[in-house]
Amino acid sequence: MPAETRGLRVTRAVAAGFDGHSAAALHPDLRTFTADLVRPYGLPLREDLLTEGAGHDYGAMAAGLFEQALPGGEPADLLILAFSSPDVRPAAPASLQLSRHCPGQPTAFAVCDQGSATAFTALRIAAAHHRTGGCRRAVIVLAEQSALHYEPVEPVELPAEHRAVVLVCEEAPGEGLRVRQQAEPDGARALRSVCDEHRQLGPGAGLLLAAELASHGSPETAGAASPGQPFTGVWSLLADRLAERLADRLPGHGALLVADHDRRLGWLSTLTLP
């Protein structure tokens, strides 16, 4: 008799916004690190933000969400911190700091420098790690903070607020999550590709779009993230949708497709949740 298929699924998600700033935003190491980072490119520092201590550190933001995301101290085997905008504690590995606060003290590392695709890459890595047999529960921490302490080469969309999302992925019977990533420079074509993928999932499948994708138009049945959170927006939407599912406020629990497109990098990413 064939062995039962077991995959990794996103079973719950917690999202929260944060006001104010953290003490790390006033640490002199932030100025030193940022100055070293931009000096080869001749980019000016944002002296106003450095002086006022704008920004929030990702470790502090996410650590307070573990109790809600992992009730009863459920232990995790793997923790991945994924971010697009820089942290305000550049000299301290926030993923390792978070592993000490996370039940189970899981293996931890960070993924970055892939724009909005970073979150999907983290999920793809978690699924691959699960297939090795070494991960029954993974925690994916997604974070963005609204301060950029230097002038970018070209205009970029900054988050409207500091925000973190914690995704809990657990082993369950049946097919697990699937991540697809591909080069796609054109946003309108990216949306058409997502809609085709959504139709292939069959009747009853849900669709959640990041704000950039939804700006090209979207089906009436799709959920669209509000503008203002370029990295965490669609994942906050997913947290709301999963909460509705758990509360049985949604009819049926068909497949769910989550999609984001990074315009600057020309990269399309989708996540299918069975």
pLDDT the model gives residue 1:
34
Stated as kind and residue range, the H or E segment containing 81 is: strand 78-83
Q: Determine the distance from the C-alpha atom of residue 8 to the mean position of all C-alpha atoms in its chain, rounded to a whole number.
A: 17
Question: Domains in the chain and their CATH numbers?
Answer: 6-173 (3.40.47.10), 178-273 (3.40.47.10)
What whole-number distance in Å separates Cα of residue 207 and Cα of residue 217? Answer: 13
| Side-chain half-sphere CA neighbours of 16 within 13 A | 15
pLDDT in tens, 199-225: 999 988 999 999 999 999 888 778 999
pLDDT of residue 250 exceeding 60: no
Q: Record the tokens describing residue 79, joined without a space.
A: 């923790």
C-alpha angle 136/239/126, rounded to 5°? 30
What whole-number distance in Å separates Cα of residue 116 and Cα of residue 114? Answer: 6
The answer to whether the beta carbons of residues 264 and 235 sit under 8 Å apart is no
What whole-number distance in Å separates Cα of residue 162 and Cα of residue 229? Answer: 9
Strand partners, 110: 81
Q: Record the tokens describing residue 107, joined without a space.
A: 């293996």
Q: Determine the distance from the C-alpha atom of residue 246 to the mean position of all C-alpha atoms in its chain, rounded to a whole number.
A: 21
Amino acid at 188: A
What whole-number distance in Å separates Cα of residue 7 and Cα of residue 17? Answer: 31
Q: Record the tokens describing residue 263, joined without a space.
A: 């315009």
The answer to whether the beta carbons of residues 18 and 24 sit under 8 Å apart is no
Taking all residues of the chain, what is their mean pLDDT, rounded to a whole number?
93
- If we measure between CA atoms, which residue out of 46, 59, 50 comes closest to residue 26? 50
pLDDT in tens, 144-155: 999 999 999 988
Stated as kind and residue range, the H or E segment containing 41 is: none
Minimum mean pLDDT range among 23-37, 46-60, 217-231, 236-250: 236-250
pLDDT of residue 266 exceeding 80: yes
pLDDT in tens, 54-92: 999 999 999 999 999 999 999 999 999 999 988 998 777
pLDDT of residue 243 exceeding 60: yes
Stated as kind and residue range, the H or E segment containing 227 is: none
- If we measure between CA atoms, which residue out of 15, 10, 54 comes closest to residue 234? 15
Q: In what order do the strands lie in the sheet with 162-173?
A: 6-18, 162-173, 137-144, 78-83, 107-111
Other beta carbons less than 10 A from residue 39's beta carbon: 10
